[in-house]
A and B are shown apart, each in its own frame.
Chain A
Amino acid sequence: MNIGAALKTRRGRIILLVVVLATVLLCGVGVFGGEELPVISLAAEDIPLPFSVPVFGNHIPNTLPSTWLTMIILILIALAYNRSLRKDGPPSRIRIAVEALAEVMLDFMENAVGEKARLFFPLVATFFLFIAVSNWCGILPGFGSVGVYAVHHGAPAEHVDDEHAEEVASTEHEEEGGHENLALVPFFRSANAHLSTTLALALISVAAAQYFGFRALGISYLDKYFNFRASSPKPDPATQKGLEGIISKMARGMEILINGIVGLLEIILEALKVLPFSFRLFGNIFAGEVLLFVVSYLFAFVFPLIFLGLELFVGLIQGLIFAMLTLVFFSIATTSHHGEEH
Chain B
Amino acid sequence: MWPEGVESVKIAATALTIMFGVIFPAFSIGWIGSKAMEAIGRNPEASGGILTSMILAAALAEAIAIYALVVALAIKFA
Contact residues of A with B, CB < 8 Å? Answer: 40-43, 111-112, 154, 276, 279-280, 282-284, 286-287, 290, 320-321, 324-325, 328
Chain B residues within 8 Å of A279, by CB: 63, 66-67, 70
Chain B residues within 8 Å of A280, by CB: 59, 62-63, 66
Closest B residue to A275 by beta carbon equals B67
> A280-B62, A325-B56 provided; 8 other pairs, C-beta below 8 A?
A112-B52, A279-B70, A280-B63, A282-B70, A283-B69, A287-B70, A321-B59, A325-B60
- B63 in complex: contacting residue of A112, A276, A324, CB < 8 Å: A276
Give residues 57-78 of B contacting A (CB, 8 Å). 59-60, 62-63, 66-67, 69-70, 73-74, 77-78
Q: Is the CB–CB distance between B49 and A283 below 8 Å? A: no
Name A's interface SS: helix
- A328 in complex: contacting residue of B49, B56, B63, B73, CB < 8 Å: B56
Query: CA of A61 to CA of B77 in the docked complex: distance in angstroms?
Result: 17
Closest B residue to A281 by beta carbon equals B66
Chain A residues within 8 Å of B52, by CB: 111-112, 324
| A-B pairs with beta carbons under 8 A, tally | 51
Given A111-B48, A111-B49, A279-B66, A287 and B73 touching (CB < 8 A)? yes
Closest B residue to A276 by beta carbon equals B63
Q: Is the CB–CB distance between A42 and B77 below 8 Å? A: yes
Give residues 19-78 of B contacting A (CB, 8 Å). 48-49, 52, 55-56, 59-60, 62-63, 66-67, 69-70, 73-74, 77-78
Chain B: minimal CB distance from A174 (Å)? 23
Chain A residues within 8 Å of B70, by CB: 279, 282-283, 286-287
Chain B residues within 8 Å of A290, by CB: 73
Between-chain CB contacts (< 8 Å), 29 pairs: A42-B77, A42-B78, A111-B48, A111-B52, A154-B78, A276-B60, A276-B63, A279-B63, A279-B67, A280-B59, A280-B62, A280-B63, A280-B66, A282-B70, A283-B66, A283-B69, A283-B70, A284-B66, A286-B70, A287-B70, A321-B55, A321-B56, A321-B59, A324-B52, A324-B55, A324-B56, A324-B59, A325-B56, A325-B59
Given A321-B59, A328-B56, A287 and B48 touching (CB < 8 A)? no
Chain B: minimal CB distance from A4 (Å)? 36
Q: Which 10 A-B pairs have the closest CB atoms?
A: A283-B66, A42-B78, A321-B59, A280-B63, A283-B70, A42-B77, A276-B63, A283-B69, A40-B77, A280-B66
Chain B residues within 8 Å of A112, by CB: 52
- A283 in complex: contacting residue of B48, B55, B67, CB < 8 Å: B67
Chain A: minimal CB distance from B48 (Å)? 7
Chain B residues within 8 Å of A154, by CB: 77-78
Chain B residues within 8 Å of A321, by CB: 55-56, 59
Chain B residues within 8 Å of A40, by CB: 77
Chain B: minimal CB distance from A281 (Å)? 9
Chain A residues within 8 Å of B49, by CB: 111
Chain B: minimal CB distance from A56 (Å)? 20
Chain B: minimal CB distance from A336 (Å)? 22
Q: Is the CB–CB distance between B78 and A41 below 8 Å? A: yes
Closest B residue to A287 by beta carbon equals B69
Closest A residue to B59 by beta carbon equals A321
Closest A residue to B68 by beta carbon equals A283
